[in-house]
Amino acid sequence: MRLSKVSKMPRQELLFLAKLMAPSEVFPLESSSNSILEETIVSSLGALFSTEPLLLPELETFFFHRLSRILAVKPQPEELEAWSVRLDLALGERILREIQPLLQVLHIMGWADGRLTAEELEVYDAVFSRLNVLRPFRNRIIEICTQPVPRATLVADLQQITHHRERAEQLLSFAWVVAMVDSETHEAEINAFHDLADILQFSRDERRDIAEQTVVRLRRLRREEPGISGPEAALRVSGADSFVQRVAGLSFLPVLSRGRFGRSSTALPSGVEALHSLTLFSKLCILSGPEFSLLDRIVLLMALLVVETD
């Protein structure tokens, strides 16, 4: 979580953050060098915390304090490295809380069948070996995906979502996209879709409309952007990205996707795109939290990008 890793970020992320934090720069940021972009990010972030210029160690302390408040981590300013590790773990825990109901949805949609086969293990490893923030929780996530999920548990976990109809519709649409990941839907997936729709309290007409609209949007998107990756398509078709744009004021998808799986994942095991979609979905859900200020969202976004920078 150390801010010195900003210098190692890909240019796409540096440019995005610079535009986010310094939109009124006189000189076009696109033509700036990476070092100028880094300087713009650091100075702009410092200005959000203090009216006086901050050196990087001072800025990092302010940054850690703000992130600690967001993630409910006890500050440890006398041990910055240990503090950084605790923040990494707390961020992963926060994402895991968001992702657990979605993993259960993926489970009941028939992708995880309750038995950890060699192929399924390859899918998990293909995703979690690339995601630093969730790597420490790999075994817990595998357990969530491969153990039977009692219906009562799923109902309880999704109870809060049922009160937010737009989010519930996004989740049901997202589940249908997951079911279509292999270009066809099976009877077990259709039955699971209807079971999920029952839990989310959608009528027969409502769920049919959601499924039909999802198919139309997915076909249109693939026709207009034939090289689009599965995770990005799932998030855009389900409406998750547009929801975040309305709540947070901008799309975080361009940098959160990081291009770790390229424009196509045909060389990766079946299911990788579905699982990677869930990690993106959960990050977008965190960033769109209505309780967060713009500074909170900037700090969270910086944390999500820094923790994935080696």
Residue range 96-124, pLDDT digits in tens: 887 777 677 766 665 544 455 565 556 56
Same domain, 110 and 197: yes
The reported pTM is 0.76
Same domain, 271 and 127: yes
The pLDDT assigned to 19 comes to 86
Same domain, 246 and 220: yes
- Asked if pLDDT for residue 298 goes beyond 70, the answer is yes
Same domain, 135 and 263: yes
Per the prediction, the chain carries an average pLDDT of 80
What are the tens digits of pLDDT across the range 261-270? 443 444 444 4
- Asked if pLDDT for residue 244 goes beyond 80, the answer is no
Same domain, 53 and 152: no
Same domain, 163 and 260: yes
- The boundaries of the domain holding residue 77 are 3-88+296-307
Same domain, 101 and 173: yes
What are the tens digits of pLDDT across the range 58-106? 999 999 999 999 999 999 999 999 999 999 999 999 888 877 776 777 6
End-to-end CA, the chain: 10
How many structural domains comprise the chain? 2
Q: Would you call 212 exposed, middle or buried from its count of C-beta atoms within 10 A (0-12, 13-18, 19+)?
A: exposed
The pLDDT assigned to 274 comes to 57
Average pLDDT for 206-210: 95
Same domain, 116 and 171: yes
Same domain, 53 and 162: no
CA distance 158 to 102: 9
Same domain, 105 and 227: yes
The pLDDT assigned to 50 comes to 93
The pLDDT assigned to 248 comes to 60
Same domain, 45 and 129: no
Same domain, 95 and 238: yes
